[in-house]
Amino acid sequence: MFQNYDRGPRHGGGCPFEGRGRGGRGGADVLGELRAQHPGAQLLFVGAVNCLRHKPFSAAAEAMRRGELSLLCPSMTDFASGRYLRQVRDAVAELAAERGAKEFVVLFGCQWVILSTDADLLAQELADELGVTVSFFDDSHLVHGDHA
């Protein structure tokens, strides 16, 4: 269920639509790659609002306009308390109902890694509760060592 789409050893940034992207590729390439690997899937970025500073807003805004991408920015209190997990469930349920999505790719960052989020358990719970398929895209800075 957990997927890490590695795009090369010279990763220059940690967020999914960061202008420089991995391996020197643009962030829009990452979104395109995810859409190609998961046609029709709803992309859901879950991360702290400060993570948005890494993204070229044009790529994210265009994907949002097309209804392919949504943003969920839990507070630090939400992450610390575990409330973000319920927020993800609620967001997936809402998007499934509104957009008829049956497949989701949840893009996440450093907070999920630090908190050791059990992505497989969350995916199973969402499948059981909502009948959707969820995979995860780990694009955290911590995993890729770009803060060394």
- List pLDDT tens digits, range 59-109: 778 889 999 999 999 999 999 999 999 999 999 999 999 999 999 999 888
Per-residue pLDDT band at 41 (split at 50, 70, 90): very high
Q: Report the alpha-carbon distance of residue 116 to residue 2 in Å, rounded.
A: 13
Phi, psi of 141 (to 5 degrees): -70, -35
Q: Compute φ and ψ for 121, nearest 5 degrees.
A: -65, -45
* φ, ψ for residue 47, nearest 5 deg: -170, 170
**Residue-level pLDDT at 59:** 75
What is the identity of the amino acid at 15? C
Beta bridge partners of 71: 45
Tokens representing 12 are 């220059």
Q: Give the SS3 label for residue 127.
A: helix
Residue 70, Cβ neighbours under 10 Å: how many?
20
